[in-house]
Amino acid sequence: MVSIAINAAIAVISVLAWISVVHGRGDDRSLMTHGLASLKYYTVLSNLFSGVVSAAYCIDLLTSGGLPHMWVLALKLAATTVVMVTFLTVVLFLGPTMGWTYMFKSGNFWLHLVLPLAAALDLCVFVSLAGLPFAATLAPVAFTAAYAAWYIGRVLRYGVEGDGVVYDFYGFCRWGRDKIGLVATVMLLATWAIAVLLLLANRLVAFK
């Protein structure tokens, strides 16, 4: 029941937090562009994905006699991984390089901090991933890879900034636009490492 409550909260709050960003005020430099343009952020996409997966997990848990299907558990691991990528990117990179003013303001407080940590707590303590194959750790890498391809494509085509639009809004080109491929590689490896650590933590900590 604890897991159902946590996942239901994640499903609802992720949408509400995004709505607050949609109707808020901000720009790319604050990572709070309002309107549907906010869907360009990894933060928003990862949290909405997590919200959808959390809703699916609740439904599956309630309709399967408390034993969720393996594909749902794979999605749960993937969703938790990508929101933890969001959290750690903010803590280790965006906060120190762009400033903390907007990192945990308004909807970003939930999207950058509360929801990722809630998802990690749920996965590591209240969800059993017993039997989930190790290959499931590659699923979140696909999510990050798809986003990286879109992000890099725009930067290479339009540049870091142009016509009042910031294309490198995460600041990954601060070491040079030619290094963005290396940055993306690091992000992909980090995504996989986070998935592996979450899986190992689940097997060591989770209530069976």
pLDDT (tens digit, 9 = 90+) per residue, 31-57? Answer: 667 778 889 999 999 999 999 999 999
The candidate with the shortest Cα–Cα distance to 82, out of 50, 111, 41, is 50
Please give the average per-residue pLDDT across 63-71, as a whole number.
90
H or E element, residue 165? strand 165-166
In three-state secondary structure terms, 162 is strand
Q: What is the mean pLDDT of residues 87-99?
A: 93
Per-residue model confidence as pLDDT tens digits over 128-161: 999 999 999 999 999 999 999 999 999 999 888 8
Report helix, strand or coil for 206.
coil
Mean per-residue pLDDT for 67-82? 96
- Please report the pLDDT score of residue 32 as a whole number: 64
pLDDT band (50, 70, 90) for residue 30: low
Question: Residue 6, Cα to own-chain centre: how many angstroms?
Answer: 17
**25 falls in which pLDDT band (50, 70, 90)?**
low
Looking at residue 67, its pLDDT comes to 87
Cα angle 99, 104, 107; round to 5: 130
Gap between the Cα atoms of 197 and 68, Å rounded: 21
Average pLDDT, the chain: 91
| DSSP type of residue 150 | H
For range 12-34, the mean pLDDT: 78
Those residues with Cβ within 8 angstroms of residue 85's Cβ, 6 or more apart along the chain or in another chain: 42, 46, 140, 144, 187, 190, 191, 194
CA distance 17 to 23: 10
Residues 6+ apart with CB under 8 A from 165: 28, 158
What is the structure's pLDDT at 31?
67
Question: Poorest-confidence range of 15-29, 78-92, 160-174, 176-190?
Answer: 15-29
Q: What's the confidence (pLDDT) of residue 10?
A: 98
Task: Report the predicted TM-score, pTM, of the whole model to 2 decimal places.
Answer: 0.93
Cβ–Cβ < 8 Å for 184, 148: yes
- Give start and end residues of each alpha helix (H) in the chain: 2-22, 42-63, 70-89, 95-98, 107-109, 115-121, 139-158, 180-205
Q: What percent of the chain has pLDDT over 90?
A: 72
Q: Which domain holds residue 142?
A: 2-205
The encoded tokens of residue 43 equal 């933060």
Number of domains in the chain: 1
| Count of C-beta atoms within a 10 Å radius of residue 10 | 29
Binning pLDDT at 50, 70 and 90, where does residue 184 land?
Answer: very high
